[in-house]
Amino acid sequence: MKIESLRNLYVKELHQLYHTEKQLVDALPKMAKSARNEDLRQAFLDHVKETKAQVSRLEAIFNHLGEEATSEKNKSIEGLVADAENYVKAGGDQDSVDAALIFAAQKAEHLEIASYGTLIAFAKELGFVTDVQLLETSLAEEKNTDKKLTQIAVGGKVNHEALSESGYRKKSSGFSWGTLFLLAGAGAAIYYLAPQLDKDTKENLNKFLNNVLGSVKEGSEKVKASVESTSRDVAENVKSVSNDLRSKTEEVVNKYRN
């Protein structure tokens, strides 16, 4: 279609937007099925209903203009839908997949927001008052969906849940710096109390100290592993502190045993 007038351009872009919405009607249910986060899944399903309504509004505009409601291929949305499909096919950590789905969905939302915004400006220039109202309703829905996705990603902590360093997930770690120092401190406290305890209690405490020492050793190794992706200087500093803590704990245990 040649671009011979603003009306001509307006109709052309309506056909492309129609194609965009039809593509998303098919893609959103698949994205919802692939999402693990319940809020994200529901957001996709809710937007399917909105997108179908947006398709109906565009059909009403075509009818008003005396144009056939047909799609004109939009390579932009096809590329974005393909991105979402690739994220799903690639698989991997589910929290990260959810973050990727939000990313893909928001790129599509921004495309729609830009399209609706420009078409509203065209419709106003052309004096199509009814079209403006219909397009503004759809634009408000797109902006609301984009905002909702941001809330799920940030406020809903999808991005935070996807956070990992060197393959070592913070949220799943059973050991932390706090635990490391707590165990070492417990061992030291027991050492100073030991002279006041009877034989049986000392034997039980000796077993406990062995567990403390084992936990500290295990923890120090995990701490080292968790910093492998950081700079060499930072990694060396952390390893040094970890080794020093383990050494001091061993010293406390050995003094008690002797």
Amino acid type, 134: L
CATH number of domain containing 17? 1.20.1260.10
Domain final position from 133, 161, 189 = 161
One pLDDT digit (tens) per residue for the chain, 258 residues? 678 899 999 999 999 999 999 999 999 999 999 999 999 999 999 999 999 999 999 999 999 999 999 988 888 888 888 888 887 777 788 888 999 999 999 999 999 999 999 999 999 999 999 999 999 999 999 999 999 999 999 987 888 888 863 344 544 444 455 555 555 565 555 555 556 666 666 666 666 666 656 665 665 555 455 444 444 554 455 455 556 656 665 665 566 555
Residue pair 91/42 in contact (Cβ under 8 Å)? The answer is no
114 and 235 housed in the same domain: no
127 and 74 housed in the same domain: yes
Instruction: Tally the domains of the chain.
Output: 2
Helices (H), 127-231: 129-150, 158-161, 177-193, 199-226
Residue 145 within a domain? yes
Residue 1 within a domain? no
Query: Can you give the residue range of the structural domain that contains 54?
Result: 6-161
95 and 134 housed in the same domain: yes
138 and 14 housed in the same domain: yes
Residue 201 within a domain? yes
pTM beyond cutoff 0.85: no
